[in-house]
Amino acid sequence: MAIAFVTGGAEVKVEQYTLRAAESGFYPVMKRGFGKAQELVWLEKGEVWKFGTTKNFNPFKRYSQKYLKNIGEHGVEYFPEFRGTLMEALQLEKMKIINYIEQNGYLPFGNKMIK
C-alpha cells in the first residue's frame, strides 16, 4: 500500500504511523493503568493494532525488530502514514483513533487512551 506523505508546507518533524497485524491471529489488548496485556483479541492480517506518532522516521529506532515481531502471535508491521508538525501529527492521530472508536465501539487494541 503506497502512502503519500503530506507536509502542509511546514517543516517535517513528526511521523504518524500505524502498527498493523502481520498475519491473522491473536494480539494483546492494552489497557490504561496496566503494563501488560489484559486479554487477547483476534485480528485479521493488516488490521490496525495501534495508531501512534514519533520523531524517529526510522521505525527500528522507535521500536526494535524484536519488539515488533513479539507483539501477538505473528507480530505487527510499521506503516508510516503522515509526516508534518507535532500538532498536525497529534491531531491526525486523535482523529484516526476517534474514527476507529466510532466505527468499532472501542479503542484500537494497542492504544491505551486518546491523547
Whether the CB-CB separation of 39 and 109 falls below 8 Å is answered with: no
Per the rule left: phi > 0, alpha: psi between -120 and 50, beta: everything else, 6 is beta
Instruction: Tell me, yes or no, whether 4 lies in a domain.
Output: no
Residue-level length of the chain: 115
Q: Rounded to two decimals, what is the model's pTM?
A: 0.85
Closest CA to 16 of 75, 63, 56: 56
Higher-pLDDT residue of 36, 108: 108
Instruction: Tell me, yes or no, whether 47 lies in a domain.
Output: yes
Whether the CB-CB separation of 43 and 49 falls below 8 Å is answered with: yes
Instruction: Tell me, yes or no, whether 7 lies in a domain.
Output: no
List the domain range (segments joined by +) for residue 86. Answer: 14-104
Closest CA to 77 of 56, 60, 95: 60
Mean pLDDT for 2-25 is: 76
What pLDDT digit, counting tens, does each position of 37-49 carry?
889 999 999 999 9
- DSSP for 14-65 reads EEEEEEEESSSEEEEE--TT-SS-SEEEEE-TT-EEEEEEES-SSHHHHS-H
Instruction: Tell me, yes or no, whether 86 lies in a domain.
Output: yes
Instruction: Tell me, yes or no, whether 114 lies in a domain.
Output: no
Q: Which residues of 53-89 are buried (b: 16+ CB within 10 A; e: fewer)?
A: bbeeeebeebbeeeebeebbbbbbbbeebbbbeeebb
Q: Tell me, what's the pLDDT at 115?
A: 81
Instruction: Tell me, yes or no, whether 69 lies in a domain.
Output: yes
pLDDT higher than 70, residue 12: no
How many domains does the chain contain in total? 1
Instruction: Tell me, yes or no, whether 3 lies in a domain.
Output: no
Instruction: Tell me, yes or no, whether 100 lies in a domain.
Output: yes
